[in-house]
Amino acid sequence: MQKKSIKVVFYLLLAFALILGVAGCSPAATPAEPEAPAEEPAAPAVEENKFEGVELTLAAMTDQYVTAFRVLIPRFTEETGIEVTMDELGYVDLYQKLTADFVGKTAQYDLMTVDIVWSGEYAANLYTLPLDDFMERDKAELNLDDIMPVAWTLGEYEGKHWAYPMAGYANVLNYRKDILEAAGITPPTTQEELLAAAKALTKDEMYGIALLGAKGSAVAQDYMAFVQQHGGSILDADGKVALNTPDNVAVLEYFGELFNYAPPGSTDYWWDQRETAFRTGIVAMMEGWSIARAGYENPEISSVVGMVDVTAAPVSEGMEPQYGFGGWGIGINASSSELKQEAAWEFIKWLTSEEIQKEWVKNDGAPIRRSTLTDPELVAMYPWFPLMLESFEKGDGDYRPRIPEYSIIQDALGTYVNAFLVGQETAESALQKAQEQVEANIK
């Protein structure tokens, strides 16, 4: 009797192991499930308590706007009964966790903040739900015309919307009023003036400009921003990756020259260290996203309160002004259940409504709507909003190409631009090797 039961348990365990093995071996052959049916009757929009008790999870980048999420989410739950749990993740972790979630179709996150550069990849792989059906259904309440045209680049790819605009950033030039005045320098309006000003302002323990130099996404994105400001592109006319063009080499030489007037540790700076450099007052100028601007007036984290002003990011001489645009959209996981997707759409709709956008921006969020950028109360709070409006009007959201291969390009540039800055490569050989690495990894 005892032996028999032992045998039985053994078989059980064996069967268990086999099942696990079999399940593991067979590739997840089931094709991607068809998108949520568009034919769904559009009627049950205002059904009472439909979403009562629905629980959503949101994966959010730890950018300034998480503060706004923390304030607004309880209010949303109160109004709709939908629970939203937020996971705050760093840039690299967010990308990797989301990809793992999408690939495994585990739907651990229903809502996610989507960086502008990810939209192409998400679209190509059907990771997020295209929002066009929802948008068509709720057209009347969305007031789409109010959203700045450039903000659509936050999630649109090849005609469909894979994420909804949430937080728009403009590339601007922050500078120290006091230091520039003392040196008799007017805020630079061209790249040539920027270099001259950086040179003139660097003396003793004071540096002209703070830049991103750390290997990885930091240096890659800063370099691409300067390519944009010189009117260049890292893609050729056919949309193919072309990193090693003479123009791009020239921009890289320029970028390297700027580093002579940056703090010595700059080749190791990520965004946070660049911010620290500016906030502690060791640099006179810094290009960066507009969302950080409000922080310079907060005495708890800044020792340059009242000394900072902001102007449009300088472009190369003679170039039609165009400003780098970036930021975040918010997307819905394509693998989430239909009810959750509906609830998630409610959240997006609510968050991006004119009324809530005002609260969003007041709590360190970033604007996407014209009405927000021109709201008198907000303009009084943030005097740089008219400048942002102008930058948005002439914004370019595609200087970092939103194509599925973006992460490969970014990694190659991140390695070799950094190698150039520390003197391991020349400008030509750096871009040549980056180009080779991209070509080896794109299939």
Site string for other proteins, 196-235 (x = CB under 8 A): -----------------xxxx-------------------
Identify which of residues 99 and 311 has a Cβ nearer to other proteins in the complex: 99
- Residue of the chain from 1, 23, 31, 184 that contacts other proteins (CB under 8 A): 31
Is residue 324 within a helix (H) or strand (E), and if so which, with residue range?
strand 323-332
Which contiguous run of DSSP H or E holds residue 383? none
Residues whose CB is less than 8 angstroms from the CB of residue 116 and which lie 6 or more positions away in sequence, other chains included: 153, 154, 155, 325, 326, 327, 328, 329, 397, 400, 402
Please tell me the distance from the alpha carbon of residue 374 to that of residue 180, in angstroms, as a whole number.
29
- Of 66 and 277, CB closest to other proteins: 277
Q: Which is nearer to other proteins, 171 or 244 (CB)?
A: 244
Q: Where are the alpha helices (DSSP H) in 259-404?
A: 271-279, 338-351, 354-362, 370-373, 376-381, 385-393
Residue 381 found at the interface with other proteins (CB under 8 A): no
Piece of the chain touching other proteins by CB under 8 A; list 62-70, 238-246, 250-258, 404-412: 404-412
Site string for other proteins, 100-119 (x = CB under 8 A): ---x----------------
Our CB check for other proteins shows the closer of 16 and 239 to be 16
d(CA 58, CA 172): 29
Minimum distance, C-beta of residue 145 to other proteins, in the bound complex (Å): 33
Residue 370's closest CA among 106, 149, 96?
149
Query: From the CB of 99, what's the least distance to other proteins, in Å?
Result: 7
x-or-dash string of contact with other proteins, 237-266, rule CB under 8 A: --------------------------xxxx
- Find out whether 290 and 167 touch, Cβ atoms under 8 Å: no
> How big is the chain by its Cα radius of gyration, in Å?
24
- Per CB under 8 A, 187 contacts other proteins: no
DSSP 8-state secondary structure symbol assigned to residue 315: B
- Binding residues among 351-380 for other proteins as defined by CB under 8 A: none
CA-to-CA distance for 366 and 357, rounded, in angstroms? Answer: 9
Stretch 279-318 residues interacting with other proteins (CB under 8 A): 280, 282
CA dist 362 → 11, 28, 211, 291, 328 (Å):
63, 45, 28, 12, 17
* Exposed/middle/buried for residue 20 (C-beta within 10 Å: 0-12, 13-18, 19+): exposed
1 binds other proteins (CB under 8 A): no
User: CB 246 → other proteins: shortest distance, Å?
Assistant: 23
User: What are the residues binding other proteins (CB under 8 A)?
Assistant: 3, 5-22, 24-25, 27-29, 31-32, 96, 99, 103, 121, 124-126, 213-216, 263-268, 273, 276-277, 280, 282, 407-408, 411, 415-416, 418-419, 421-425, 437, 440-441, 443
